[in-house]
A and B are shown apart, each in its own frame.
Chain A
């Protein structure tokens, strides 16, 4: 680990398994690593290697069997469900493969959604959403519903929703997996810009080596184990 930046994510001895009938299937085994402030990390590995599970654990939407995850000094594995929800609302921005926008809300309303959990006034929320729309260059599509937008545009709305609360980290699970080459490149450029210009720490799970090239560091997971020799600095 030769990161220059101080760690913002500290993962220690993380284990996770799933139960399939009577059988216990280990998914992650003894995972330990750090992610520095402002890093852009790509997690790669074959299907079933546990990369999405690791991402979910870091994002606080799943709980490990053992081990710890400390993010910005907060031990998230010891938080209750309610505390974890509150923590996610203000610290994590999510970007999913299938965008996961609410279809009955416009682009503007989708982006505004996480802000409803903050104490911001309506006017302040509008300002934040307008800024996020500018970042993803979709101001002219703010009144469109997800069904009226292309895949790339929907993913940009999802990115705007992820950054609108100014979270500590951005997690992206196959963000280009459902996009054509041109749209995928646009999304990766946008994420790159967020990382460089806004200093966002990004953790991205991807199968796509081209997508991973945008990251500063690539880590490989194989059968639930983090390959110690796999850390690649780009």
Chain B
């Protein structure tokens, strides 16, 4: 799904801009899920430009990342709509307003600067400047699920990796992959078939896999041929090494513990959302959500709004349609902040149509 969005929608661009180029816009939207995306539309009706930041490599948030094929039944006007389809529709709806996207990067800081503006910086150093920041972060930044392995975090970047960015990194190395899903299967197959690693062990807690049948069959074939060490009914329990990874301890369900020497341990257990940096921006947090005032979904920092699943207020419902409403209200307030001299008059799309940029 995500690759289709990238290939088919020519208007969509990923900003790969060097640190030196500040991205300036009217509204920075943190989170490109359905609520962040629809906010672009409402802002566009007020002639406000938006730029979205998301840690995932594609827009759509939870809908594209977790449940693209699930039907949703409570989007007004759609008795049923697929999650992925809803995102495709939203991207089409906001197309006239040419939003900018910084994808695959997570917002780490919001700093106040002169002229009552903010600079939002990502983990890759990309900077964005605007008078208004709307946080539509959903359940939070997607981070790798880390298995309960002793010493795991100590060895991060010292032999423990959660994503494979460049397979060449593993050339000639002994690698232990853990996981039972498509990611673990496909990467194991890739690293062996392309003769990258010197040795590959795949550790899984069960003795059967539930990934795509083709991948599962391939792994079985490679194991039969002796090209992959398939270690099933086992889990990695600890990491060994004086400075970098030198081995892992593996506990078998019935045969006890043993040590496997290796250079890298790559646990591939998917992603999970986490509040992350949002919790350190000086905002009032309650139950992993940002407290807002429902008059305009403002936070305790003037100029910063929070909409969608990421906010909390008495009576809050974590529904997409509620997020749509909250974004619509928030941009009216954003307009007043950006154009204090102008008075906005509500214009209906049935009267004025949609005038893109």
A and B: real partners? no
On B, residues with C-beta under 8 Å from A are none
